[in-house]
Structure formats: C-alpha cells, structure tokens
Structure 1
Amino acid sequence: MSAQAGGGRSMSAQADRLYDLLPVVHRMRDADQGFPLRDLLRVLSRQADVLEQDIARLYDNWFIETCDDWVVPYIGDLLGYALLPEAATLEAADAACGAGLGHVLAPRADVANTIDARRRKGTLSLLEDLARDAADWPARAVEFYRLLGWMQHLDHPHPRRGGSADLRDPGRLQRIGWANGAFDPFAHSVDLRRMGSQRRRGRYGIADVGVFAFRLRSYPVTTTPAYCEEEFGPHCFSFSILGNDTPLFHRPVEETAPTHIAEEINLPVPLRRYRFAERGPRADYASVSAALYGAGRSVLIQAPDWPARGQGLPVPIEALIPADLSGWHYQVPRGRVAVDPQLGRLMFPANQRPRRGVWVSYQYGFAADLGGGEYARSTSELENATRYIVHAALPGAAPAESWPAGHFGGIADALAAWAQAKAAASQPLRALIIELAESGVYEGSIDLQLDAGEAIQLRAAECTRPVLRLLDVRASQPDALSIAGQSGSRVLLDGLLIVGRGIEVQGPNDEGEGPPPPDDLCELLIRHCTLVPGWALHCNCDPKRPGEPSITLDGSRAALRVEHSILGAISVISPLRRGEPPPLRLCDSILDATGVERVALGAPDEAVAYVDASFSRCTVIGEVQAHGVALAEDTIFSSALRVLRRQLGCVRFCFVPNGSRTPRRFHCQPDLVLAALASGDASRRARELLRVVPQFDTVRYPAPHYLRLADDCCAEIRRGASDRSAMGVYHDLYEPQREANLAARLQEYVPAGTDAGILFSN
C-alpha cells in the first residue's frame, strides 16, 4: 500500500530506516556478502511500521473526531449514550454489509454533541439539532400550544401567536397544509389526542411538540441549457433539460445561531410561487425575492444578448415576474420573464424571445445520491490512461477555434484524436479517459469500437452532471450509443445523464457452430448514471417512448454491471453460439420499464433473456424474464419474476409477486404472510396479498419522490430487508433505523411533561 502511494523512493527509505542506523563498517561488510543483513532488517522494518501505525491509530481512537467507526459506540457508552437494540447485532464480520448501518445506529455527530445536548435539554432548537445529528434529517420544531386559539389578555398581547386567516393574503393561506403543516401560521382548536399515540395521533395539544423532518435533499444543477418547449411556442422553456415539469427547491442557507428555529430558507423545501415573490406591506407579488435569485442562490437565469446585445448574463432580477404558467397562457410584457417555480417553467415575450438560448442554474429535490447528479462520488482511475477533456457550450462564450492539447469541443473529436494517437504510437495504447468538464449538453451520436485489451471510460468531472443527448439524425439506422469490442475490452460510464436514445452493445458477427468467438466486449460498467426510462419525457413526466429499452445486448456476451443508476428496460438478443450465460449485475439501482405490465428484463426473440442475473437492493418496475438468477436480495419486484433455470440461485428478503417462478426463496414476501394464515380462508388471504403490495409515492421519473415507499406502506416491506431496513433501491438510507434513533433521542431530551413526535414533511 505505502509503496504504491508514496512511490518507490519513499518506500525504500522507510524500509531501510533500521539498516541506516547501523555503523558504516557493518553495512560495508553486509554489502560484501550480498546484503543479507539489510534484507533481514527490512522485514523487521515492515513489522515496526505496522506497530507504529497501530499505536497511532490507538491514539486517534481516543477522540470522537478521529476514531474508527467501531469505537464510536464505546465512546458513547462512556458518556451514557443509549444505543438502539439493533446496534448490539452489528459484528465485525459483517463490516462490509453493516458499515452504513453502523453510521446510522451510532451517529458520530450525535455522540460528539451528547454533553452539549444535555446542557441544552428542554430547549426547542435542540430538537432540530437532534434530528440533524441522530438521523441526518434537517428539521423544524414547532410547539403546538402556540398555535391554539385562545383569547389574549389586553395587558399581555402575543402578536406572534396563531390568529385567524386573512383571505387577502394568498401566501399565508398556501402554508396551511404545505409541507404537512410545518409552517402553518394560523390558530387551531385543541386536539385532545396525544402526539405519541399509536392509533390516531393528535397534533394541536398543549403538551405537544412536533419535529417536522425533511427527508428529501436539494441537489444543484449548474449552468445547463433550458429545454425549449416548441410545441407550445419558441418562447416557452422548462428548467429541466428533459422537458418535464420539475419543482424548484431551496438552496438551504445555514442558520445564523444555535437557538434559531429553521425557516423555509434553511430547509430543502420546494419553492412556492408566493415564497418566490418579494412580499411587501401591500402584498405585492410582482417581483422576485432577492434572497432566492442570483449567483450562489436557488435560481439563476442566463440569456445571452437578451433583451439587447451585451445583456442577459445573468437576466436581472428586475426583469423577472413570478407567475402561474400551468397552461402556458400568460401575457409577458416586453423586457420581462415569467417564472413558475412550482412547475419549473419559463416564458419570454412572444415578440422578444432569446435568440442565443437560455441557461439555468437551480436546485431540484431527490431522496438519495442516485443516477447522474452534481454530488460527490468516488470514481476509479484506469491505470496508465490517456485523459482527454471535453467541454460543453457555455452562455456568452464564442466557439473556440482551437483547443489546447488534450481539450476538445466534442466527444467525436476526442475519439478521432484517440484513433490517431493509437495509430502513431510506437507502443500500443490501451486506456482512455474522456472527461466531460461541465454540466452542459453534449450532443451527437457515439460509436465506440474497442481493440483487444482496450478500455475507455466516459465520465463526468467531479460534482458535475453532463447530459449526453443522442439525436435521431439517421432515418435508416438506429442512433443509439453503439459499443463493440474485442477480447479483454471494457467500457465504463460514470456520472452521465443519457437522453434521446439508449445504449446498444453489438456482438461479433457469428454465423457458424462450435464455441463462442472470443472477439467480443468483455464488460460494460455503468455507475451513477441515468438512462432516462422511455428515452425522453413529456411535460407531465410520462415517457415518450415507453416501449424502448435503455440497454440492448445484441448478440454480445459482455458482462453488464450497473451500480447506483437509473435505467429503463434491458433487452437481450442471444448470440447463435451461446455457451454459459453472461453475467448481469444490478446493485443499488432502479430498473424501470415505465409500467408493471411491460418487460424490464427480457428478450424480443425468446421467452427469456439469456443472462445470469443478480439484483442487490434494487427496485424493478416490470417483469423480469431471465435464464437464471444467481442472487436477488433486498429487492422489490413489482411484477412477476420468471426464471428458466431454478436449480441454482437464491432469492432472499425480497418482494416477489404471487405466481412468480423463481429459485429457492428465503424470507420473502408475500410468502411469510401467507404462511402465517390458516388454510382455507380465501378472503383473508386476498386481503393480506393486497396489504403487503409495495406502495410508492410516485412511479414517474424524475419526480422528487420517485419510487420511494409511501409512509403508509406495510411494515413487512418498510422493514423487510435482511438488516431490518426497507426493501428496494433506497435501502441504504436506513430510514426505519433513523426514525427509531431520533425517537429515542426525543424521549430523552424533551421537557418534562411534553409529548414529542416526528412528522414527515416530505
């Protein structure tokens, strides 16, 4: 490890440190005999390094900031920090599987702030800090007795207490049920039910305190072209490059003081039209709030040379109008731009539309680091690889006539340069990295033809979300991202959003008999990517081409691996000479055929796809028809799973619809609930089958709650994974454990006689 990290010179100096302490005369005698003493001392030096590292680690383990993860519960025990019962089941042998769960059951920040929390016990702002430290959820704490309707004393007025609704203030009226009432400003009658009731929870009681948890995260999109909605007019645009409606979110602002109670601007919540507007004493909603628009804030719009040459970078805040663009009907004055933050729409004057395009920066809501996005992700490097940088068009920047060495204006130019470099090289070049530098749009068709042993990685730069837009430019041929290779070749896709077409892996031309030919792509690896299900979207998020696959394996035996990604259906066209089925691995991903009646994994020319599939912590929408399933765990199959080869493989801790044909199953649903029922009770059996069906908030990409389990989904699914977390792609969020951990902290730190409860705002 140290030799690779520090280089050969530093390693040799470290390895010979004991040898260098010897007198010169002994080193001279050792050199005459072929350095046997030096070799012995090098072995001792390596053991001394291990001992020193262990001593240094023991010192670091004295402090909560630097200690290993396994030490956190022990430090918490010294402070009297109460762990959940599940923490006792974590074992060192399961470190690879339980590392994420260990962070949830013993949060480092919560243990570190234990003493400070005890000093602040009973204060309202502490409850928000507990939600952040114990569950990693931003929160807003509300004392409901302040919202009770009561007659105020004339000598002691409380103007900030809840009052009656002002029908002339639509902004305040919108807050009644918005975010589950977290920002409700009005007075209510007393509710005698308790907040902590297991049956029907109350809310507006004298002793009730609500902690509104915000589970969605706010992700940025930086300087990306807006989508022109040409079907409604060339002056209509969507913030989303996919052309769908998307609610814009706040970019949370850090709170100024520990005692501050979180407001809308401090939380990852959607922007409301009336919140987006600048409100004055006369309730003027015709201008935009300066706290939400501008560089480094929630929204920024750039339109080069609009409304006049040299302007529009960015569009001034004085030109914006908050508006309701739900029907694309709005009379926009000249020199102004109408913005609808709830739908993510823009409208320019029909007689003054931007000629050089529109670029936007905004925030959108999602639940996890999944698919293409501007979040931190670990990306592996190809060894001895040549790196090319590809740039996207930026607002106001003229097209470059010439690029520096290694920089290009398009992916096709980078591939052409790579072909020339391979032809001119004296030694074979085997590895290429094409890095997309900006979160822009990269258009055109891509055809990757790899030589034997060659590897090409097409990846996003750190914290960017490049959009690869595959256009329909050839009427007689498909325009997919085409990949073909020879033996030992690999293709890696990292951090991309691919729209317009899918990926097609071409196998070798094979018309004979005998063993499969070796000249074929070895592996296709897709990580943190989004292959838009249905290729493209309408405004309402319905797919434009719902029957089209995102990945087609056409006669190829390439191994396919998908990690932390979102993709549509997978179609497998089997080669003529088969051999053993190639592996197909999906991990922490969504496989969405855009409908439960469609086929998520299958073959267009056969009954099943000739692959050996594996699913780990996935959510699958559509039928799976595979030759074999080696392993499926913690996965939700919304439609039937049909496997041809049932003798091998295992399905464990999954939801598999009744009537599926699978390998042996262990601890799956609805098998468990049916086994617990008495035989012959057909009506109860039918009710139980309906009860344990997974319920999702929405099944349409890219809604903020895309394929998240609904809060009223049954416990058998929400806690049905192998480690008592939720089944499906959001398994690693460990939301049941986070909720239990936060509930335990609230019981410890709320004021005496107070009944606190957790309310989910999104």
Structure 2
Amino acid sequence: MSTPSQSANPDRLYELLPVIHQLRDAERGYPLRALLQVISEQVNGIDADIARLYDNWFIETCDEWVVPYIGALVGYVPLNNPNDLANPATTRGLAEESLLISRQEVANTIHYRRRKGTLSLLEDLANAVGGWPAKAVEFYRLLSVTQNISYLQLDRGRTANLRDGDAFDDLGGPFDELAHTVDVRRIDSHRGRGRFNIPEVGVFVWRIKPYTVTRTPACCLEDVAPNCFTFSVLGNDSPLYTLPQPAAPGVSPTPLNLPEPITRRRLARLETGEDPETSTSGISLYYGPDGSFTIWVGTPPQPVAPGQIVAADLSGWSYRPLPNTVAVDPELGRIAFPPGQPRKQGVWVSYAYGFSADIGGGEYDRPISQPAAAVIYRVGENEEYGKIGDALARWTQDQPADAVIEIADSGVYVEPISITLKAKQTLQLRAANRTRPVIRLLDWQTSAPDDLTVSGEAESWFVLDGLLVTGRGVQVDGDIAGVVIRHSTLVPGWGLECDCKPRRPTDASLDLIDAPDCLTIEHSIVGAIQVDRNEAKKNPGKIRISDSIVDATANDQPALGAPQSLCAYVTVTIVRSTVFGQIAAHAIELAENAIFMGSVLVCRRQQGCVRFCYVAPGSRTPRRYECQPDGVLAAVSALYAKGDIDAGERDRMQTEERLRVEPEFTRSRYGTPTYCQLAAACACEIKSGADDESEMGVFHDLYQPLRASNLMMRLAEYSPAGCDAGILFVS
C-alpha cells in the first residue's frame, strides 16, 4: 500500500516509467504524463478507500456513510428512509445524514434495549437522537395528594410555601417541585397538551446552545455611571448562560449540567452540606476559570476574588455595592462596582451567552480556507502586530498577491479601517478559529464617513470572516470583483441599546457603491444592504445569501434596495435565510426555503423561481412553487370552487389563514438568545414547510422538526409501559 505522501503525488505513476519514455514524452509535450495524472487521481481514490477500510469497521471511527450499514448489523431500524435524505456526497447531505441517522444511537442500540423503560434512558435518547440535552420528569410525582398518615412523604404532594421563592422561580419548568392538581389531558395530544397525571412523562429539551466569549473588554455605560458595565461589548443586556458540566452516568442532570440561563437566586443560593465548611454557594459553582463567567480588573488584569462577587438585581442600576464587592446581575448580564471607586483600569470578562446555531461572529469551530501561497499577518496581544492598522500598513508595503490578516484573540479593536486592493489582489480579514474579535468603528472623521471601507481594482477580492462589526457599517466601492462575508456579524442598526433596540434603525450595514460584481453572504447576520449600482453597466451585480439573517430592524424598512431607484440593479439568490424588511431587486434567480417578512418587489419577473418560501402578501415575485400563504389561500379557493363555502365565507377564511401562517418568532431583536427562532405557536406550514420538511428560514439546517419527530417515535418505543411521553421545549 502506498504512503499518504505518495497518494498525494499526481505524478506517482509517471515517475515509475523508465527514463527513456519520460524523455520521449517530454519531446511531444507531455501527453503521456497528462493521461497518467488522470489515472493517478482514480488510483489515489482507491488507495484512500483501502486506507479507511480498517477504521470503517468501527462505529466510533467510520465515515458517515458507513453508519447505517453498521446499524443494520445490530438490528438498528432507521426512522428515516435513506432514499429520502439529501445527496450524501455533498457536505450538507452528510450533515443531514449524521443528524437523522445518529452515530451515537447506533453505537448504543444494544445498550438502550437493555435499559428500556428507565427514566434516564429517555434523557440519553434525546441527546442521541435529537442532539439536545434533556431532563425527564415523571409528573405523577408532582401531583397534589392526601398523605397517608402511616406513610408520610413530606417532600411531595404539599401545598405551596409562599416563602419559598426558589420553588416559584422553577414553577412550570423542568426543576418544578411544587404540587399540582390533576390534568386529564395527555402530554402527547395534538389538541391540548396536559402534564400532571399519573401516566405522563415529560422530556424537557434545551435547543439554545451556550457560546463562550473569552477575555474580552466589558462595555462601560458612562451615560449611566462610570462604575456600570455590561458583559456584552455592544452594551446590551445579555443573560449569562451556564457552561454545562458533564453529569455522572445514570444521575438526573441539575442546572449545572444543562445550558440554563443563570438566575439571581441560583447565583446567590447557598447549598448547605453536613459540614458548614463544605457548604457551597452559587458563586463558587458558577464563577471562576472553570465556571461560567469570570471578571478581571487592573493592569495587568487580575481576576476578582469569588468572595467579592455579589448577586444583585441591577435592572434599574439602583443597587449600590458595598466597598470591596462587585455586584453581578446574571439575568441581565450587568456588572456594578462600588460608587466612587476609581475605574482607571479596564474591566475584562469571560462568559457564555445563548444562541440557536453557529452563525454570525462567535467562538465556535468553523472552516477556514486560504490560497496556498497566502502571506499571513497575525494581530493580537501576543502577536507581531498589536493593531489591525499596523498589519494593514505592512500589507500595503509588501503588496502580496494573496494575503490574510488574522486576529488571534477575542479583543475589541477600536480603530479606523480602510482597505484598498490592487488589481488581482485578494485579502482576507478574519478571526482565528474559535475566537470572536470585535471591530468597533467610531466617529473619527469630521467631514467624511467612518465606515469600514473596502475599495479595489479589477479582479480583486475581499473576504470578511468570523468578525463582529459595530458602530458603523461596511462600504464597498471601486472596481472590486467580489466580496465574501462569512460567519460574521454586521450589527443591524449599527449598535444596540440596553433593551436590544437598534441605535440607528434606518442606516444600512452594507453600502455597495457601484461594486462589487459579486457579493456572497454565508452563515452571517447583517443589517440592511444598500446598492447604488449604475444600470448603464452591461450586467447586474450578483448577491448570494445563504444560511443568514438580513435584518433591516423593521419589516417596513428596506432590507435590500437602491436609494435612488425603484429596484437595486442586482440579481439575488437567497436560500435558507430569514429577511426582516423589504426587498427591491432587479431579479431573483432563486429563493428557496427562505422567509421574507417584508414585501418583495422584483422588476424582472420572467426569470427565476421562488420555492418553499414564505412571501409577505402584496409581493411581486417570479413564479412561485409551494410557497405560503399561497398554499393555504389556494386550499380555501378550492373549497369555494366546489361550492362548499360562499364568497363571504371564502374571504373570511382567507384572511384567517393568511394571519395563521404568518411566521411568529420567539424574539425578533438581534442580541436576544432566541433571536429569529420560530415560536412554538408558529404554523406547521412554516415550521415544516421546507422542501425536505425542515423549517423555513435561517435555522433550516438544524432539522429541528425532523429531529423532534424522530425523538417522539423513539420515546414511544422506549417509554415505560403504560406511560405517555412528550417533548417539552425549554428554550
């Protein structure tokens, strides 16, 4: 078998030929070499398959396509027909297959069968099948009962103690301990779901995931007081989340083992042990380098001692910490130091916030690519360059054809940035993997804009990767060929107030001044896009948006348009995305599995297609296929055509159906944990209305409806006899 280095060599077969044949081939322009390179490509593929054969014998190391075959050996029955899945040869196909045919479930199939009927198995199934952390609760334990005097259970079935504030905080959740009256409805009913009855078992699952921010400056709210800070660098209230610690096998998880928001009571709670010296407080459980958040002050930064942290309600900033203490409000993500205490040094924090998926700037694992010969300039506290401007100055001096400016930490860079690309140059301004640097743009110039400006000559390209840009937007001009924005956030409205309201709701985050010819936005969150493109050019520009959110901060504001024209002179492709605001474009080449909350106006409707999307009423689009509310309105019209309803009933039903299928979101403001998440009351035509029965919008690739359906079928299979199990979404 050849070594990996040999397999990577395209001339491996050619080099085996006698030299005389190589010389004759050189005289004829290397036709034999070209032929053998094609053959070598196939040989390399066979070698790679042979090298993977041993690893593919084991479920822990095998390729994704092997998982269903190993499952068949142990009698695993997939919940989905493999023929219905996406093409497994593609990256998205492999991701879908790994979600819907779980490697973890196949690996534990026999183990799960042995534990069938146990409560802890239901929690493991939620993690294995749905990929969600979970806690299972038997609701018969929470029923209010008359105590048997011979068999007292003082911890169950009692009336509520009005002095027990902790219990009321947990009311209705997975850690509820109060007694309830009986509810005769079944938990798995599709009409009205009940909980508190003898056969009911609830599996609480958490869909919001915690994302870390490491050693980043806190935001000082000087307009409130110089001693008031927020954990979020944007200055908005952002609840702190628990970084889950692994639970012991077979032990029901606690709030420390789940991605729960940290409450003030849990942070202040004292857990008393048998020995007073072993008693633990919430501060020691949540705070510290191994906990969920940490605060540093001073120069050099030193961590605040756990004994100085005090849990407090800072909702009105009326709480005044005592000297040598630091007040923390985990529910709002606020910090307060004692009044009058000088704060000449900065404040740095590490914490976890909640969000649904890996989009926008964040400290998560993301793919990074670059040209093979790219020159890399690293920026950071311990790197060669301390500022982005220093690296840009050296890049301007060197003028390499391909370059990368990589920011190696999660700091905040407050500096003006202007980039000018020469012809055929490429530049990536990116964050290192698992970091989230922030570029904060201020009012630097009196008589000129202070946007992050990018200008380029012909055939030049610019990539923005993994960054969060706040304070201003991004402006692109010149003859630059293309701009790529991936895994980045251009804060909608430029910035946030404490309640997550946008500071500049009418200003665009991306201003395209007659450039570029191609704009690609992937896995990102951006504000409004303004296009000022000369229609005298031969071809319209191209904008491709996938797995992203375009947020104009209001549905009646332009999300994509031109300031001086009816329609932006661009051809748009939008897939698996959510748009808040109006779109006015020259043409839509393809819109698929997307949600358009504002009206859509397309000047050239003869080309393109809109399929499996929600399109706001009153829109003018290319031909539509399986879109809403068109589908439900057509169903009502069919009833009228059959004579089942009259004209008045038809109009009333169409109005009701149009309102019913309008997408509902848990929160629609950027900066909140459940931003852009479809609400539980959202119509099933939206929650499972994509072409593969996943949800429409930016979180399509989470496949949450399919995962929930799979989990329900597995719960019915493994639940204790006589019990009804149901899924309850905590977040």
TM-score grouping bracket, smaller chain normalisation: over 0.9
The equivalences for 1:670-681 within 5 A come to 670-678=629-637, 679=640, 680=647, 681=650
Once the two structures are superposed, residues 7-56 of structure 1 have per-residue CA deviations (whole angstroms, 9 ceiling, x without a partner) of: 89x7389547976xxxxxxx6887898899x9799887766554443344
Moved more, 654-663 or 127-136: 654-663
1:47-196 matches, within 5 Å, as 49-90=44-85, 92=87, 95=90, 97-153=92-148, 156-161=151-156, 163-177=158-172, 181-196=173-188
* 3-state SS, counterpart of residue 302 of structure 1: strand
Instruction: Answer whether contact 1:238 1:244 (CA < 8 A) is retained.
Output: yes
SS of 2:390 mapped into structure 1: helix
2:263 is the alignment partner of 1:268: no
Give the Cα–Cα distance (whole angstroms) in 2 for the partners of residues 376 and 189 of structure 1. 47
Query: CA–CA distance in 2 between the matches of 1:388 and 1:162?
Result: 65
1:596 alignment partner in structure 2: 555
Describe the superposition over 1:702-729 as per-residue Cα deviations: whole angstroms up to 9, x where unpaired: 1111011111111110111111100000
The question of 1:443 aligning with 2:414 is answered yes
Match of 1:202 among 186, 194, 197: 194
Q: Is the 8 A contact 1:17 1:45 kept in 2?
A: no
Distance apart, 1:354 and its partner CA: 2.2
Shift of the 684–447 alpha-carbon distance from structure 1 to 2, 3 Å rule, reads same
Note the C-alpha offset of 1:317.
0.9
**2:41 & 2:449 partners in 1: Cα distance?**
58
CA contact (8 A) 1:277 1:286 kept: no
1:343-382 alignment, distance < 5 Å: 343-382=332-371
Unaligned 5+ segments in structure 2 are: 641-646
Alignment map for 1:183-332 (pairs within 5 Å): 183-256=175-248, 258-279=249-270, 288-304=282-298, 313-332=302-321
1:112-141 per-residue CA deviation (whole Å, 9 max, x = no partner) reads 111110111111111111000000000001
2:455 corresponds in structure 1 to 484
CA distance in structure 2 between the partners assigned to 1:436 and 1:469 by the alignment: 14
Using the TM superposition, give the Cα deviation of residue 97 of structure 1 relative to its aligned residue in structure 2, in angstroms.
4.9
Q: In the alignment, which residue of structure 2 is the partner of 1:399?
A: none
- Find the aligned partners of 1:547 and 1:129 in 2 and give their Cα distance: 47
Q: Of the candidates 580, 597, 600, which is equivalent to residue 638 of structure 1? A: 597
Residues 373-402 of structure 1 show CA distances to partners (whole Å, capped at 9, x for unaligned) of 00000011123111111115xxxxxxxxxx
Q: Tell me the residue number matched to 1:616.
A: 575
Secondary structure of 1:676's partner? helix
Measure how far apart 1:281 and its partner are: 5.7
Q: What SS class does the counterpart of residue 328 from structure 2 fall into?
A: strand
Q: Are 1:495 and 2:466 matched, yes or no?
A: yes
Given candidates 456, 459, 464, the residue that maps to 2:427 is: 456
Structure 1 residue 151 displacement after superposition = 3.6
Q: 1:752 aligns with which of 717, 721, 727?
A: 721
Q: CA deviation at 1:67?
A: 3.0
SS in structure 2 of the partner of residue 289 of structure 1: helix
Alignment partner of 2:498 out of 527, 536, 539: 539
CA distance in 2, matches of 1:530, 1:92: 30
1:415 to 373, 392, 406: 392
Using the alignment, how far apart are the partners of 2:358 and 2:88 within structure 1?
A: 27
In structure 1, distance between residues paired with 2:438 and 2:92: 33
For structure 1, which runs of at least 5 residues remain unmatched after alignment? 20-26, 393-402, 423-428, 508-519
Structure 1 residues 611 and 148 mapped into 2: Cα distance closer, same or farther (>3 Å)? same
Fraction of identical pairs, as percent: 48
Shift of 1:148: 1.6
Query: Displacement, 1:745?
Result: 0.8
Q: Alpha carbons of 1:327 and 1:687: their partners in 2 closer, same or farther (altered >3 Å)?
A: same
Superposed CA offset, 1:565-614 (max 9, x none): 00000001123632210101111000000001101001111111111111
Q: Classify 1:627/1:264 alpha carbon distance in 2 versus 1 (closer, same or farther; 3 Å).
A: same
Q: Within 2, Cα distance between the matches of 1:322 and 1:262?
A: 24
Between the aligned partners of 1:270 and 1:45, the Cα distance in structure 2 is: 55
| Aligned counterparts, 1:705-716, within 5 A | 705-716=674-685
Whole-Å Cα distance in 2 between the matches of residues 489 and 41 of structure 1?
Answer: 35
How many angstroms does 1:69 deviate by? 2.4
Counterpart-to-counterpart distance in 2, 1:332 and 1:41: 76
Which residues in structure 2 correspond to 1:463-478 (within 5 Å)?
463-478=434-449
Aligned to 2:664: 695
Q: Distance in 1 between matches of 2:265 and 2:19?
A: 84
In the superposition, relative to structure 1, how do residues 31 and 565 fare at CA in structure 2: closer, same or farther (>3 Å)? closer
For residues 670-699 of structure 1, the C-alpha deviation after alignment (integer angstroms, 9 at most, x for no partner) is: 111111113431111111111110011111
Which residue of 1 is the match for residue 643 of structure 2?
none
Distance 2:23 2:598 in 1: 76
CA distance 1:46–1:626, change in 2 (3 Å): closer
SS in 1 for 2:284: coil
Q: Paired residue for 1:337, among 297, 317, 326?
A: 326
Q: 1:47 to 1:378 in 2, by over 3 A?
A: closer
Correspondence 1:22-61 to 2 at 5 A: 49-61=44-56
Deviation of the 1:445 alpha carbon: 0.9
Contact 1:556 1:575 (8 Å CA) reproduced: no
Q: Shift in Å at residue 642 of structure 1?
A: 0.3
Question: Structure 1 residue 733 and structure 2 residue 728: aligned?
Answer: no
SS in 1 for 2:67: helix
Shift of 1:505: 0.7
| Cα deviation code 1:164-218 (max 9, x no counterpart) | 33333322221113xxx11101112222222222211221111111100100001
Q: 1:63 and 1:620, CA in 2 relative to 1: closer, same or farther beyond 3 A?
A: same
Q: Is contact 2:476-2:516 (8 Å) kept?
A: no
Range moving further from structure 2, 259-268 or 70-79: 70-79
The answer to whether the 8 A contact 1:249-1:268 is kept is yes
From the superposition, tell whether residues 12 and 80 of structure 1 become closer, same or farther in structure 2 (CA, over 3 Å).
closer
Tell me which residue corresponds to 2:627. Answer: 668
Question: Paired residue for 1:398?
Answer: none
> How many residue pairs align between the two structures?
712
* Code of the aligned partner of 2:722: G
Question: d(CA) in 2 for partners of 1:727 and 1:32?
Answer: 60
Question: Which string of whole-angstrom CA distances, capped at 9 and with x for unpartnered residues, describes residues 405-453 of structure 1?
Answer: xx1111111111122223xxxxxx2111111111010111111011001
Cα distance, 1:339 vs structure 2 = 0.6
8 A Cα contact 1:287 1:320, kept in partner: no
CA contact (8 A) 2:11 2:37 kept: no
Q: What residue identity is the alignment partner of 2:633?
A: L
Name the aligned partner's letter for residue 184 of structure 2: L
Structure 1 distance, partners of 2:687, 2:20, is: 71
What CA distance in whole angstroms lies between the structure 2 residues aligned with 1:638 and 1:334?
A: 50
Deviation (angstroms), 1:90: 2.4
1:13/1:689 CA distance change after superposition, 3 Å:
closer
TM-score (norm 2): 0.92
Distance 1:658 1:194, change over 3 A: same
- CA–CA separation in structure 2 for the residues paired with 1:7 and 1:452: 37
Deviation of the 1:98 alpha carbon = 3.3
The 1-side partners of 2:416 and 2:657 are apart by: 50
Amino acid at match of 1:299: F
1:524-559 deviation digits (Å, cap 9, x = unpaired): 100000000000110000001000000001122431
